[in-house]
Every structure is written in structure tokens, then in C-alpha cells.
Amino acid sequence: MAGRSPLRALIIGSPGSGKGTLSGRLVEHAPALKTFSAGDSLRSHIRRKTEVGRQAENVIKDGGLMPDQTMMDVIWSDLKAARNGPWMLDGYPRTIGQAKLLDSTLEQEGDPLDLVINLDVPPDVVLARILDRWVHPASGRVYNTSFNKPLKEGLDDITGEPLEQRPDDNVDAFATRLATHHREVAPILDYYSSPTKSLSRPPLFANLKGNTSAEIWPQLWEVVKKFRLE
């Protein structure tokens, strides 16, 4: 089993690449694993109408990115609550600045990253998913009218509450988000896939390719199960 401390991991992928779905499946197989979604955290702030939420609402509508330090503050509050068990970050970091800030913070805590996963899904496949995606806002559960339909149309399977489409789940906003994602994430992938001299123990980098979550899942589990998940 790799590593003496619980797993510290990142899962990176474009909007709609299946990060949330695959993270949820990991938790089913490793119940002690805590997954944190930067997007879900921001949407929680928006619902609670916090100062961060008001800022995030405007940024998300424009397809932009939150300031690095603001995002680090949001994420760090989640990680502090899970420091004794394994965790995985979904959708963070989104910029090279966020990656370096996260790494320096974890290094200072003596708790560096073990694993960085990149979900490599073709853009046309991702666009089709985005347009058919519906979510349950309170829980973050995601449905797709093409391959993961709710039991009752428009309703969450667990609560029966109405599903919604995210404001940025449309073609124009997606094009902006995808361009931003590739521009910002390319340096992150280079940073983690190459030897990083600034880190005392660089994480393992895994690039997982597939058109569907079903194709990627076996690859993901094969990598993750090597680490401490309790």
C-alpha cells in the first residue's frame, strides 16, 4: 500500500468530464474517502448569500474564475475538517497559481499530495453531456437524460425534489468554460506530470482516457486502491 498517511488526491478534468460521478463511485467503494467539489462549495456559498457567494455568482455567469486566494480559503476550510482521513479534491486547483498555493500549504502541514488524476475526455463528448445534465442542488447529485436518467423525469431519486440545469450549462457558456479550462489547466498538467523540484515528494500523475465514466472507472480504481483509503 503506497503512502503511510491517508490518500491526498486531486481529480482534474474539463467541465462535464465526469469528475462528480467518478468521485461518487469512489466513495461507494471506499466509504472513508471524503470528496470535496470546489464547484459545490461555491454553489453552497451562493445559496447562503455569503460575500464569497455573491462574488462567485457574478464570476460563474461570466464563465470566469475566482481569485486564487479566495478559492484556497474556501477549500482549506473543507480540508481541515477531514485531515485525519483520506480525501480527494474535485475541480480544484483550476490555475497554476492555485496548484502552487495548495502544494505549499500542504507541504507546510507535512501532508503533501499523493496522487493527481486527469480525466481525458473528448470535447464533443463533454458538450453532449453538459446539454443533457440535470442536478439536485441541495445534494449535488447529477443526472443525464441520455445515460443516467432519474427514476421520475425532473425529480431527484432520493428526495423527490425538482432537478435544475445549472445556469452555465449551455453552448455559449460551455465554450467559454472549456477554453478557460484548457488555457488554465495545461500548465497544471505540465506541472504535475513533470518532476517538480519544488516539492519534497511529488505526487503520482495518472492520465485516464475514455468517452464514458464506465470506461474510465476501472482505470481509476486500479490507481486509487494502491493508497490508504481508511
- Residue of higher predicted confidence among 181 and 4: 181
Q: Which of 100, 95, 113, 153 is nearest to 3 (CA)?
A: 113
Model pTM?
Answer: 0.78
Residue 71 and residue 92 in contact, taking contact as beta carbons nearer than 8 Å: yes
Strands 142-144 and 133-135, sheet pairing? antiparallel
Read off the pLDDT band of 69 (50, 70, 90): confident
Domain 8-221, CATH: 3.40.50.300
H/E segment holding residue 9: strand 8-13
User: In the structure grid, which three cell numbers stand for residue 45, read together?
Assistant: 456559498
Identify whether 6 is preceded by a cis peptide bond (ω within 30 of 0).
Answer: no
What backbone torsions phi and psi does residue 196 show, to the nearest 5 degrees? Answer: -105, 100
**pLDDT tens-digit map of 129-147:** 888 889 999 888 888 887 7
